[in-house]
Amino acid sequence: MSKILDITENHLKILSLFTKGYDGEYYIREICRHVPLSHGTAHNILSSFEEKGVFDSEIKGRNKVFRLKKNTVAINHILLAESYKRLKFSENYPLIDDILFRIMPFFDCPLALFGSYAYGGSDEFSDIDLFSAGDFDKNEVDKIARKFRIEINVKKYQKELFYRSMNEDHLIKEVYRNHIYLRCPEFFIYRRFF
């Protein structure tokens, strides 16, 4: 018998908080500070995720701390949160989203947006920072950048280098902390979980 997937936008907001590196631990009070929810609402959502096997919790001092479990249930929920983040980005930055849509065919590899647009700190002078785990057509990306009069910076790593460096490289750590996945989110997520 199938169950109804009971996930609201508040569930996705809480899950999105855990996408910052996938290794964070949060107290309910911290979650309420980042995601404007009442303590009771946050507690109910976290408890439902814990029952589903998305989160682990433990008591530290007098408070309960939550972290993502390292399992496929958590990964599937994180994929939902990453899609939610992508959708919110599209709503908040329609012009930048249009530019990204135009350049994505020139990347045949995992791709992530990072920097000021990813963490919501952009202004009219911000450029677009992309992380590519593979090759892309630089000439076509440059043409689109000139057409829209915006600087597009692409940091390119080959997959093998990404795999070897992901736990030590400062750029990769920055991408994991603040990102919007544009292509192949599973590539980035699975490497952090397994």
CATH class of 93-193: alpha beta
DSSP state of 136: B
Residue 4: predicted pLDDT: 65
Cα dihedral 157, 158, 159, 161 sign: negative
Rounded CA gap, 100 and 86, in Å? 12
For the stretch 14-52, pLDDT in tens is: 999 999 999 999 999 999 999 999 999 999 999 999 999
* pTM, to two decimals: 0.92
For the stretch 74-98, pLDDT in tens is: 999 999 999 999 999 999 999 999 9
Q: Per-domain residue ranges for the chain?
A: 9-68, 93-193
Structurally, at CATH architecture level, domain 9-68 sits in Orthogonal Bundle (1.10)
DSSP state of 126: P
